Every structure is written in structure tokens, then in C-alpha cells.
Amino acid sequence: MRIFPHHHRGPVRGRRVVAALAATSSLLALTACGAADMTRQSSPYAAARGAKTVTLSVQSWVGAQANTAVAAYLLEHELGYRVDTVQVDEVPAWDALSQGRVDAILEDWGHPEQEKRYVEGKKTITPGGDLGVTGHIGWFVPTYFAQEHPDVTDWKNLGKYADQLRTAESRGKGQLMDGSPSYVTNDKALVKNLGLDFEVVFAGSEAAQITQIRQFAKEHKPFLTYWYEPQWLFERVPMTEVKLPEYREGCDADPEKVDCAYPRTPLQKYLNTRFAEHGGKAASFLKKFHWTVADQNEVALMIAEDKLTPEQAARKWVERHEPVWKPWTR
Amino acid sequence: MTATTTSVREQGPSRPPLASDGPTGPDGSRRPDRRPPAPASPRARLRALLLRHRADRRVWPLAVVALVLVPAAFLLPGAAGWPGSLAVDLSGPLGRAGDWIIDNRDHHPLFLYFFGHVSNAVVVSVRAVYVVLLAAGWTGVTALAGLVALRLAGVRLALTCVAAFAACGLLGMWVPTMQTLALMVVAVAASVVFGALLGLAAGMSDRADRALRPVLDTMQVLPAFAYLLPMVLVFGIGVPAAVLATVVYAAPPMARLTALGLREADAGVLEAAASLGATGRQRLLTARIPLARRQLMLGVNQAVMMALSMAVIASVIGAGGLGDRVYQALASVDVGAALAAGVPIVLLAVVLDRTADAAGDRLGAAPAPPSERHPLGRVFAGWYGWLLTLLAAVAVAVAGRMAGSALWPGSWTVPIAEPVNRAVAWMTDHLYSGVPVVGGTADWAARFTGWVLDPLRSGLQATPWWLLLALVGALGLLVGTWRTALTAVLALAAIGVLGVWEPSLDTLSQVLAAVAVTLVLGFAVAVGAARSARAQRLLRPVLDVCQTMPQFVYLIPVVALFGVGRAPAAAAAVVYALPAVVRITTEGLRGVDPAALESTRSLGATGTQQLRHVQLPLARPALLLAVNQAVVLVLAVVIIGGLVGGGALGYDVVLGLAQGDLATGLVAGAAIVCLGLVLDRVTQPAKEA
């Protein structure tokens, strides 16, 4: 913004100074000697003796926090590693994983483009096996509303309820609330291709979406939202899924033409290739890490609802479930 | 955004940037008796002031627009929206650029021999500072901060400083605070050096000044989110990208203030130096730079403030520290935990600002005679005082280490998250709906959306594009010159060319509404504050907190109160922009010539009459600056609005970062810059010819 008026005075002597500046800066750039490896950069906050440091990426939803918390706890207390966690969105996390900024992603919901580029193409990322949890995205209405109007759970009848689902933001149609822009969603295409009189309203972040859902639930109001399982919020606000046209292989291949439900995705782990090969016990532990929806939800609820820190929640789970995690550490 | 408002300080009459913003002296040619009846709202009154001022010469462009183009718009319907044939699609080239970086960054020499070293240098420096801070332990860091504050600013500030650091420890945030501090130290040092070099160039040469101005404008208005993505692509996530993004954001104010300081050097002193035969370099080093001390100090202060405001945004790309704590708390919808991490940021900002402020005030002031000083101040005077300061801090640090407490003791923490969450829940439960008489916040939000935001948006989107261009041009002419008008028109046209006409108008409607609310509230508060010094003192900490509290902290409460959508986005923007408006307006109203007030009082004018007929007209430049600042600051938090359902450009920028989509993010960011240009040019305090 221009906040200073023009001054039409001042000497022309500045030119020499500018030239000198330009010269010194270009010299500085040239004198950097030797090559710097961009794929081996550590965090400045890592331990001084950072030989045994593992960096895990953690995504913005609580389930992902739960995986990371338990993995970090066991790596630290059972295997003697130091663990750094970095919270980043999914696509930048893939990028970071390929560069070795993080060593592992523990819960991926399917990013075909990134898989093609980094796993098959550059081979900088290696699949780390199933997490053990199956993820599913869908449209949900609150259970109290579904009980009053049982037919709302079929997408064909959604139009009848568009009026009740209207908000100030939905431009006179019914509101379908989506959340964070980083999540996988076909909702805009779905609404169009299924011919529904609905407007997709993006809350912009999961925190905003959860806050809004809870407000609606407190008021006992109807709502229709993009949501996913496993998710701890179901424990607090029971929701019922709306049936969309059945998922068929390849029906969501063209993002513009999607007209079917979301698939059920066995969530995947991914490791940085160099870490997978030379990561020793930590890498083999992360490859073996495998647990159920119930396990993950137990930890997630402690974090989100009881407001325990991820570490405290992980400790509680680890104390209760030794038979589950013992095999991972061998 | 601009160099004047991110500071958490009172806008003192001696603030150089304000003084340069246009004429501050009363304009003697306007006589109160020619006033038209004042319109009801402050905004309208302001417009009236604005119009009246230039009415004689400048109304004809508006008249042309009104008489010729508006009827034409009604006769030729369906011309709304930017014609597709005039738009350029940048997604191809930008996408290819992103791919090129990803494919080449591991082996291309540019990365191996340049970016890689930059990145390593940042990591090494941050690490060095962090290790020193941890080694000093909490006792050492607190002691050093307290002693430096004592040396620069006196006993009261020293105590505040110690209390602030203690609070960081009490909140259980010692280690994240040190991480943020380490990052800040490096980022601010880099910003100051870089900014000072740019400012030196701009201050010494007019050509460099002209060339740099648009660059600095862009650096400051481009939303940080938009350039986080390119930074991440080049440097990967983590500290290097965060530090460099911070430098891009924090260096411009330093550059501007340096240039300003060099240009405003007293001609008499320079003349004297020249007559003594000083060479250009000697004059620069011995006269111009020392004379620009205050501005340089202010520039450093601004750089610190801007850098701190980036601390949280940078956490989105893995910068760690306090910002990361705020961001992770947001994921589990935990306001209390976010606040616990946000408070240290506020405290750091306030302490650093006050210290720099006090140090700046002492610069140039003659030192008090030793007899009048505080005994402590006497001990620490002079250059050996600095040595003493350092030695004392080291001694305390060693003592702390001997006592075996490098990190803040875990048992000394106060968990505030739980009570805060309860308080927020109680507040939202009781205010969201069913408040008797006035309805709940949910109803207000719905009404604000339905009655203000929707009509504004539909109105703007239904207006033909050429009419909007003409309107902006006319407004630009009205408040400025042909040049400002042309800039504004071109910037608006660029939005269309970028192919984001519709979302930009959506964002524009939200910005206008939020600015209107900000001004109404801000002027009301300022009128009250200008009347009493006590009110001002009470307001100051509140304004400080509003200005420095990371917006991520209050995202959840605003959504809980107003529901997802454009209303909470507007609310968040108002919270952020209000302090600057209040400060500038209060300062303007208080700066009114006491003689004028006294003479009206002797004529029997009431307080209201005084305000309307004397204070507001005389404070016109300050009011215009307040409008301008409100626009700029509201625009700065459009992105934050995108996180709570504001949609439009803010959401697009967030989406670009989240999906690694360079095209969407950068184009939306560029559109925000263009909107900023348009709004800045049509609200700029008019430059007197």
C-alpha cells in the first residue's frame, strides 16, 4: 500500500550504492561452495545427537493425531528414539515425505496423483502397508432427524427436506456442509450430477465444521454434512448416513462426472524410501503398526473430548493394550 | 500491512509515518457555516466530508457516470460478469512451474548451489539461537530480557518483561516459546538487514524508490498463505520456508521507514556537513543515518510485530513452536489449548513493542543528569552498563543451571485450557440463541448475511463490469489524481483478466461490509476514548490483545457464535482491524487544536456540537487514514475468513495451499493484491497538490 508521498528530492548518488549492493549480493550467492543436499535437511529443533530421530507427519484430524501419538509414544518409550511431529496438510505432507523432511505418513486416504508421481515415478516413497482402519466418506444427517424422518436417508428424498436444511449461506437451496479444502471431496459434482437442489457450503476448516455441527445438535436442528468415519464426533453427535447411488469401480474416475457414493478405503501408511531401507527398528515398527477402528477411536476420544494431550492419551492406551502393540516392537 | 498499524503502540504525534500521510494541519479554507446537514452515519458523514472537499473540481466524473452510464447499464442488461474472451487461464503455466520445481529440486544446480545453502544457513542460525536459549535456561533468558528492558526502558518495563516470560512458563509453553523466539530472532535479523539494504537504495536514489515501491506494496499485500506454497515447493516444509516467508512479510516496513528516515534528514545538517567537506559516504554515515535513528528504530519494531504475526501462519508449513501448538489445538477444537499458546505470542509482542518504543523515545533525548536518575538506572548507564547487563544475565543463568532447572519446572504450570473451554462453552450457549429482546448471535449473523452481505454481493455481481470500472475510475479521480484513478481501474481489470471476477466481487462485498462495521464501531469507541485519558489507558491493553492475538485462536468462538459462513469471517476481520481505527481516530480527535475547542466552548457549544463542528472536520486527515487502514487490515484477514466459511478468494488461497495447487492459490492471492490496490487508491487520503 502506498502510504508515503512521493519525494522529489534526494541525491542521485544512490546509483553507486545500489550497484555496490548488487555486486555484494551476487558475490555472496556465488561464493556458496559445494552442493547442498535438499533431501537431507533436519529440523533445527531436533535433538543435538539427532542420530535416532524419527519425524512423523500428523494431519489435522484427530484420528491421525491418535495414530501419531501412539506410534511416537512407543518409539520413545519402547525403542528409545526421539520423535518429532509436524502438522501439515496431506498434499504438502506427501511432498515432505518424498524429500525426507518427514519419515512416515501413518494414515492416507488415497492420493492417486501423488502415488503415481512419488511411489511409481520417483520411487522416493515406499508403501508401508495397511493401517488396519477402513475409512469411509459420506453424507450424514443427525440421527435425531433421521428418526423423525426415516426417508431422508435415501438421497432421492433429500429434495423434500431442502427447505428445512436452508441456511443464510446456501443461496436459497438446501445446505450440504463440507469442511476443510484439504479433504478428498466430490460433493460439488455429486450435487450437480444427481440433480439436487443443494448448495455445497465449505466451512473452510474441520474445526469450523465440527463447531457448527455441535451448535446444530445443541439446537436440535436438522443438517446435512460431508463427514467420514472413523471419527470421534459420532460418539457425541450420533449421525446416520444418507445412501447415495452405490459405488462401482471407476464411477469416480472423472471428477466432473461422479454420480456415486464414496468408496471404502483401507487407509495406507507410507514411508520415505531411504528411511524404509535404513531406518532400522523404527522403520520395521512403523511397517508393523496395525490397529482397529475401536483402538483409534479410543485414543481420539481421549484427545478430543477428555482434552488429554496426545501423549497422555497414548500412554493410557498403551497401558491397557499391551498384547496389541507388543508384536509391533519385535 | 502498512508500516503504521501493525505496531502495538499509541500513534503519537511524533510518529513519522503518520505525519507523512497527508496534511495533518487544519485546512483553514473550510468554514463550518457552509456545512451541509450532516448525514446520520459516520461513514456517510465521512463521505460527505470527502465529497465536499473536492466537490468544486471533481464531481463531474461521478456525474458523468451517474447520468450516462447507469441508465445504459439498465438498458443493456445481461452484461454483468467479466467476458470470458478477455480472461487468461494461468493454470497451465503455473501448474507446469510447480511440476518443474518438484522434478528438479533434488539435482538442479540452482537448488544444489543456491537454495540449498540458503536453507542450510537458516537451519544453522535458528539452531544456534535455540541452543543458546535452552542453555541459558529459563532463569537466564528471563534475567537477560529483564535486564535489557531495564537498560532500555526502565524499571516498570523490566518487571513487565520478567512477568511475561514467567507467564509463558506458567502456561506450560516454555519450550515452544523458545522455539518461536529462536525463529523470530533469525527472521527479524534477516528482515532488518534485507529491509535496511532496500531502504538504503530507495532512500538514496529516486529511481530505485520508484522501482521498489510496487514491489514493496505487493510483498505486503500478497496474503502470506499464497506464497507459503511456492516456499514449500522450493524449500520443503519446515523452518527455512517459514523464516523466508516471514522475511518477505516483515522486511517491507523496515525498507519503507529506512527510506523515509534518509529522505527526511534535516537539510540544514546535511548542508553543514557538506560545507565542512564531507564526502557522500561520510555524510551518509555521520549525518543521514544518525538523523534517521528514530525511523530505523521504528522499522525494527515494525519488523518484530510483523514477524510475530507470521509465527502462527508459518506453523501451517511446519514451523513448530507456539504457532504449531495453536494449530494443533485447532484440530481438536480446543480453544483453551489454543489460547494457552496464543497468550505467549501476545506477551512477546507487547513486551518487545513497549521496549522498542521506550528505546526509540530515549534516542535523541538528552540523557538526564545522573542526580535525577533511578539508582538502578545509574548503575547500568553507559557502555559498561551493557557489559554489566550481560554479565549479570550470565551469572543468573549459571546460578539457574547449578540449581538444576534449565527447563521451566513442570510442577509450576497453571492449566488454563479447561476453565477457558468452559467459559467459551457457557458464553456460546447463552449468546447463540434465545437472548431476550435482541435475539441471539445466530439471528444477528443470519440478518447481517441476509440484509447486508447478500444485497451487496448480488448488487456487485449484477453490475456490468464496465460500469464497475468506470465507477472505480470516477472514485479514484474524486479522491486522488488521474494516476491513482488509472491504477485502480487497471487493478480491477486485472482481476477480470485473471478469471476470478465473481469470487473477487464476493470478497469485495464482504470487505466493504466488514469495513463499514469496523468504522461504525471504531469511531464510536474513539469518540468516547478521546474524551477521557482514563478510558484510553483502559483500552490500550484490550487493543493490544486484539491486534496481536493470533486469529486462529478465536476462529472457534466466532463460529460457535455466528455459525459457519461470511458472518464469522466479518467478525474476525472486525476484531483485527478495530484497534488501528480506534487508535488513529482517537489520536486525530485529540490532536485537534485546543485553541479552536476553547473558542467554541466560550461561544457556548455543547460537547456534541464541538465534536460535530470542530473535532471531526479538523481531524479529517486522521479519519481518512483510519478508513484506509480499516480497508487494508480487513483485507489482510480475508484468508482467515476462508477458514470459517467466508468462501471466495480467501478459501481459494487456503485450498491452493492444502491441495498443493499453485495456480488456484497464486491467482487468488494476486486477485487479493489487486483488490487491495483498488481499495487503497479509492480511499487514500488525498494528497494536496
Contact list, B432 vs chain A (CB under 8 Å): 215, 218-219
d(CA A199, nearest CA chain B) in Å: 13
Contact list, B111 vs chain A (CB under 8 Å): 36, 38
Nearest to B563 among A1, A95, A215 (CB): A215
Distance CA A242, CA A152 (A): 7
Q: Using the beta-carbon criterion (under 8 Å), do A14 and B208 form an inter-chain contact?
A: yes
Q: Tell me the residues of chain A between 213 and 252 that have a Cβ less than 8 Å away from chain B.
A: 214-215, 218-219
Give the chain A residue whose CA is nearest to the CA of B333: A207
Check if A7 contacts B (Cβ < 8 Å).
Answer: yes
How does strand A104-108 pair with strand A264-272?
A: antiparallel
Q: Using the beta-carbon criterion (under 8 Å), do A45 and B318 form an inter-chain contact?
A: no
Distance CA B610, CA A310 (A): 60
Distance CA B546, CA B568 (A): 16
d(CA A7, nearest CA chain B) in Å: 8
pLDDT of residue A34: 63
Distance CA B506, CA B457 (A): 6
Q: Using the beta-carbon criterion (under 8 Å), do B116 and A35 form an inter-chain contact?
A: yes
A140: pLDDT confidence band, cut at 50, 70 and 90?
Answer: very high
Q: Using the beta-carbon criterion (under 8 Å), do B263 and A9 form an inter-chain contact?
A: yes
Q: Using the beta-carbon criterion (under 8 Å), do A12 and B213 form an inter-chain contact?
A: no
Helices B551-562, B417-432: inter-axial angle, 10-degree rounding: 30
User: What percent of chain A clears pLDDT 70, i.e. is strictly above it?
Assistant: 85
Nearest to A88 among B119, B208, B318 (CB): B318
Give the chain B residue whose CA is nearest to the CA of A122: B103
Q: Using the beta-carbon criterion (under 8 Å), do B236 and A101 form an inter-chain contact?
A: yes
Distances (CA, A) of A237 to A211, B400, B424: 11, 50, 19
Helix ranges (H only) for B611-647 are 616-618, 620-636, 638-642
DSSP helix, strand, coil percent of chain A (3-state; round to 5)? 45, 20, 35
Return the higher-pLDDT residue of A42 and B528: B528
Query: Residues A149-198: pLDDT tens digits?
Result: 998 888 888 888 888 888 888 888 889 999 888 888 889 999 999 988 89
Contact list, B22 vs chain A (CB under 8 Å): 5
Please give the DSSP secondary-structure letter assigned to residue B684: S
Cα dihedral across residues B668, B674, B677, B679: positive or negative: negative
If residue B599 lies in a helix (H) or strand (E), which one and from where to where?
Answer: helix B594-602
C-alpha B546 chain-centroid distance: 12
Taking one residue from A and the other from B, the number of pairs with CB-CB distance under 8 angstroms is 281
Burial level of A78, CB count in 10 A (0-12/13-18/19+)? middle
Distance CA B166, CA B54 (A): 55
Nearest to A91 among B124, B555, B660 (CB): B660
* Cβ atoms B249, B306 nearer than 8 A: yes
Residue in A58, A103, A201, A211 to test binding to B, most B beta-carbons within 10 Å: A211
Nearest to A3 among B21, B421, B442 (CB): B21
Q: Give me the phi and psi of B665, to 5 degrees please.
A: -65, -45
Residue in A2, A3, A122 to test binding to B, most B beta-carbons within 10 Å: A3
Contact list, B237 vs chain A (CB under 8 Å): 86, 88, 92-93, 95-96, 101-102
C-alpha A219 chain-centroid distance: 29
d(CA A61, nearest CA chain B) in Å: 6
Check if A115 contacts B (Cβ < 8 Å).
Answer: no
Q: Using the beta-carbon criterion (under 8 Å), do A44 and B127 form an inter-chain contact?
A: yes
If residue B517 lies in a helix (H) or strand (E), which one and from where to where?
Answer: helix B501-531
Q: Give me the phi and psi of B659, to 5 degrees please.
A: -100, 5
* Cβ atoms A58, A64 nearer than 8 A: yes
Cα dihedral across residues B69, B75, B81, B86: positive or negative: negative
Contact list, A11 vs chain B (CB under 8 Å): 204-205, 280
Distance CA B669, CA B507 (A): 12
Contact list, B259 vs chain A (CB under 8 Å): 4
Check if A168 contacts B (Cβ < 8 Å).
Answer: yes
pLDDT of residue A13: 44
pLDDT of residue A27: 46
pLDDT of residue B509: 92
Contact list, A219 vs chain B (CB under 8 Å): 432-433
Q: What is the DSSP string of B665-677?
A: HHHHHHHHHHHHH
- Residue A230 preceded by cis peptide, ω within 30: yes
pLDDT of residue A223: 92
Q: Using the beta-carbon criterion (under 8 Å), do A36 and B239 form an inter-chain contact?
A: no
Q: Using the beta-carbon criterion (under 8 Å), do B647 and A202 form an inter-chain contact?
A: yes
Nearest to B320 among A15, A45, A182 (CB): A45
Give the chain B residue whose CA is nearest to the CA of A63: B332
Contact list, A49 vs chain B (CB under 8 Å): none
Amino acid at position B425, single letter: A
Burial level of A197, CB count in 10 A (0-12/13-18/19+)? middle
pLDDT of residue A306: 85
Q: Which of A79-88, A319-328, B39-48, B613-622 has the lowest mean pLDDT?
A: B39-48
Q: Which residues of chain B have pLDDT under 50?
A: 1-40, 46, 49-51, 53-55, 687-689
Q: Which residues of B515-549 are buried (b: 16+ CB within 10 A; e: fewer)?
A: bbbbbebbbebbbebbeeeeebeebbeebbbbbbb
Q: What is the DSSP string of B536-552?
A: HHHHHHHHHHHHHS-HH
Look up the pTM and report it. Answer: 0.80
Give the chain B residue whose CA is nearest to the CA of A176: B564
Q: Which residues, including other chains, have CB under 8 Å from residue B232's CB and lie 6 or more apart?
A: A92, A95, B241, B317, B657
Q: Using the beta-carbon criterion (under 8 Å), do A202 and B555 form an inter-chain contact?
A: no
Q: Which long-range contacts (CB under 8 A, 24 or more apart) does B401-409 make?
A: B401/B137, B401/B139, B401/B140, B403/B139, B405/B137, B405/B138, B405/B139, B406/B134, B406/B135, B406/B137, B406/B138, B407/B134, B407/B137, B407/B138, B407/B174, B407/B175, B408/B138, B408/B169, B408/B172, B408/B174
Mean pLDDT of A85-109: 86
* Cβ atoms B137, B382 nearer than 8 A: no
Nearest to A307 among B127, B328, B417 (CB): B417
